[in-house]
Amino acid sequence: MKGRRVLWLLCMAGLCLVLYTIVISRIENRTDVIFGGADGAYVSSDSVSFLDPNVFETPEPTEDIWPQIDITLSQYSMVNNDNLLSPRYAPDVDLISTTSYMMFSTAAMPYLDAMIADMQDHGFNVYVAGAYRSYSYQEKIFNGKASQIALGMGVTDYMDPRYQEAVEEAKTITAFPGGSEHQLGLAVDLMDRAYTKLIYENMSQAFFEYLDSICANYGFIKRYPTRKLLLTGWDEPWHYRYVGVDAAKFIMENGLCYEEFYAHYVPDFRY
Ligand SMILES: [Zn+2]
């Protein structure tokens, strides 16, 4: 009888020892955690693990996906009524072989030739409605427009202060001398030969859909798309500008206009 009692006590003592060991080990792991929230709810938990801040991986810097280019090259020139080319700026130009008198940059000519050939291979009859324009030619166009507007206002004297109003209005219709990309020799106005009037809605949309899909392969961008009018100031969906293949692909694939692209490289540029 006595032996069984001793055995029972030993068993109970052993059980107590096991329970004590378990309780002590749980207490050592116990962590007090404050969970957030308006009340600052205080919760005790032994099931929360913390990350060692020393082993956090620093995220890789976002890869710079913009083309690595030298924005100061002439093929990237920003030309508009606020960024004028000098009257002396005259690039090397040659005759565009598919035209009788239109000229284009000698350096970029192979790209234009290849793009026009691609269009022709796909059944389009390409008409070059505009290409290189010298400073003096742009001046003639501009003065003609300003005079026409002035005349409409009853102003015939250049010295009349109101003539300046006509000049300002003309600036919204045609580029100021030095303010046309056509002076760079890198811009062309392209359309289907059946449409020589500059009314985009009337032009072959299949022509422009195809041209927009391939132009970047030849280094050209659609420079003044209608949807970017508020950024570029111009709605000339037939006007294509050579900027080189890398820049053109990036611009066309990302739906940018040239101002948005240029501003990335020239941070103080305003448009
Ligand atoms: Zn143009």
Instruction: Give residue 120's domain range.
Output: 74-133+180-265
Rounded to the nearest angstrom, the distance between the alpha carbon of 172 and the centre of ligand 1 is 14
The answer to whether residues 98 and 86 touch, using CB atoms and an 8 Å cutoff, is no
Question: Which of 113, 148, 178 delimits the end of a domain?
Answer: 178
Here the tokens at position 229 are 């009018």
Rounded to the nearest angstrom, the distance between the alpha carbon of 268 and the centre of ligand 1 is 26
In a shared domain, residues 259 and 142: no
pLDDT of residue 48: 55
In a shared domain, residues 149 and 257: no
Residue 54 to residue 45: CA distance in whole angstroms: 23
In a shared domain, residues 128 and 185: yes
Question: Which of 117, 145, 178 delimits the end of a domain?
Answer: 178
Active-site positions? 236
Number of structural domains (the chain) is 2
Contacts of 19 (CB under 8 A, 6+ apart): none
Contacts of 133 (CB under 8 A, 6+ apart): 141, 180, 182, 183
Query: pLDDT of 118-144, one tens digit each?
Result: 999 999 999 999 999 999 999 999 999
**Taking 80 as the threshold, does the pLDDT of residue 46 lie above it?**
no
In a shared domain, residues 170 and 191: no
| Angle subtended by helix axes 135-152 and 162-171, to nearest 10 | 120
Q: Quick check: is 42 in a domain?
A: no
Rounded to the nearest angstrom, the distance between the alpha carbon of 66 and the centre of ligand 1 is 26
Rounded to the nearest angstrom, the distance between the alpha carbon of 185 and the centre of ligand 1 is 11
In a shared domain, residues 188 and 115: yes
Here the tokens at position 191 are 């359309």
- CATH of residue 87's domain is 3.30.1380.10
Query: In this prediction, what percent of the chain has a pLDDT beyond 90?
Result: 65
Rounded to the nearest angstrom, the distance between the alpha carbon of 102 and the centre of ligand 1 is 13
Query: Beta 42-45 vs 187-192: how paired, if at all?
Result: unpaired
Q: Quick check: is 230 in a domain?
A: yes
In a shared domain, residues 226 and 120: yes
Query: pLDDT of 205-235, one tens digit each?
Result: 899 999 999 999 999 999 999 999 999 999 9
The radius of gyration of the chain's CA atoms, rounded to the nearest angstrom, is 36
Please name every residue paired with 33 in a beta bridge, in sequence order, or none if there are none: 43
In a shared domain, residues 186 and 256: yes
* pTM score, whole prediction: 0.74
pLDDT of residue 28: 57
Please list the alpha-helical segments (H only) found in the chain.
2-29, 109-121, 135-152, 162-171, 205-214, 229-232, 245-253, 258-265
Query: Beta 187-192 vs 220-224: how paired, if at all?
Result: unpaired
**Taking 50 as the threshold, does the pLDDT of residue 33 lie above it?**
no
Query: pLDDT of 52-77, one tens digit each?
Result: 656 666 666 667 899 999 999 999 99
Q: Quick check: is 24 in a domain?
A: no
Q: What is the rounded end-to-end Cα distance, in angstroms, of the chain?
A: 103
pLDDT of residue 12: 81
Rounded to the nearest angstrom, the distance between the alpha carbon of 88 and the centre of ligand 1 is 20
